[in-house]
């Protein structure tokens, strides 16, 4: 399965960027290398899009950073053609300027994002009830002011199929807002979909883009692209795991709007989730957005 997916990925990348080899203009070559892999719907499914690099080269530039990194790539190609570094001077100086004034990526105020070892997410009611008992006890025993009087974020899918009973078993402190990954029925799908639960308000935000082929029973929810979530009186952009690793954040995030990323790498013993985390930080830097990451890690 993994080999098949990578073969498909490599083939799509080769075909979509092939015109770059036939282009005479260095800027046109750069456009063919960067843009096709980030255009919807393909860009919503392709991992590690080159445009995410704009967050490191031109942090805080927002959408303008996309044009700037393409300009930089074109300048690199031009420098190779003319055997001179002169084409690189302007874009590199501009990159240094953006990095010099870029704010440090920080966790949103009042948000306590928890990353911890987790088991495979529950898929049935019994497992969901057990998960609520486990995480409810964990949250109550933390005793930190961040979790008791602010917002706590726990990883993707850890609550499984959420029900009235499982919410009750959490026994959340009255002053706590919990942002947690779980499942819920939605009117536009014939099976429960994964997403983000806001508790105790009982608000559910379905994930926008499940992992293609890997999660066949989950359906895209592209109409939610660009929507924000109102949580405890503040506005946030939500990302669920795989979404941060593709081009979805380019179309979904808002300048300076805090981002909450819920991921789950219970299966990951080789650091693959680090790619997702790095890409999330790049997108957040591009939009000068505070970022909180709650990530499930494999049990030892």
DSSP sequence for 51-96: GGGHHHHSTT-TTHHHHHHHHHHHHHHHHHHHT-SGGGHHHHHHHH
Q: How far apart are CA 146 and CA 149, in angstroms?
A: 6
pLDDT at 21: 83
Task: Check pLDDT > 80 for residue 149.
Answer: no
Strands (E), 114-227: 116-118, 151-153, 177-184, 193-199, 203-206
CATH 3.60.110.10 domain span(s) along the chain: 111-298
Task: Check pLDDT > 90 for residue 22.
Answer: no
Band of the pLDDT at 186, cuts 50, 70, 90?
very high
pLDDT, tens digit (0-9, with 9 covering 90-100), for 259-268: 999 999 999 9
- Is this model's pTM higher than 0.75 or not? yes
Task: Check pLDDT > 80 for residue 2.
Answer: no
The fold for domain 111-298 equals: Nitrilase/N-carbamoyl-D-aminoacid amidohydrolase (3.60.110)
Nearest Cα neighbor of 238 from 230, 228, 247 is 228
């Amino acid at each position: 399965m993994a080999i098949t997916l990578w073969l498909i990925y490599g083939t799509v990348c080769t075909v979509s960027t092939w015109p770059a080899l036939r282009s005479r203009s260095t800027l046109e070559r750069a456009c063919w290398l960067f843009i096709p892999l980030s255009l919807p719907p393909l860009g919503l499914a392709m991992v590690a899009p080159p445009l995410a690099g704009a967050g490191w080269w031109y942090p805080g530039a927002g959408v303008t950073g996309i044009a700037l990194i393409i300009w930089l790539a074109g300048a690199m190609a031009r420098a190779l053609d003319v055997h001179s570094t002169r084409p690189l001077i302007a874009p590199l100086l501009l990159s240094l300027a953006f990095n010099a004034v870029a704010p440090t990526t920080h966790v949103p105020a009042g948000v306590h994002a928890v990353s911890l070892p987790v088991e495979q997410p529950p898929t049935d009611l019994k497992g969901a009830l057990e998960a609520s008992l486990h995480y409810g006890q964990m949250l109550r025993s933390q005793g930190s002011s961040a979790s008791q009087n602010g917002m706590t974020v726990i990883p993707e899918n850890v609550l499984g199929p959420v029900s009235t009973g499982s919410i009750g078993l959490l026994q959340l402190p009255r002053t706590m807002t919990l942002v947690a990954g779980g499942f819920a029925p939605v009117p536009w799908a014939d099976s429960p979909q994964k997403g983000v639960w806001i508790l105790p308000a009982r608000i559910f935000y379905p994930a926008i883009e499940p992992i293609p082929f890997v999660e066949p029973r989950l359906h895209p929810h592209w109409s939610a692209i660009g929507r924000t979530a109102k949580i405890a009186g503040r506005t946030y952009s939500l990302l669920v795991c795989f979404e941060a690793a593709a081009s979805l954040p380019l179309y979904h995030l808002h300048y300076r709007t805090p981002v909450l990323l819920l991921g789950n790498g219970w299966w990951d013993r080789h650091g693959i989730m680090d790619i997702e985390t790095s890409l999330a930080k790049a997108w957040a830097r591009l939009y000068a957005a505070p970022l909180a990451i709650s990530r499930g890690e494999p049990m030892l």
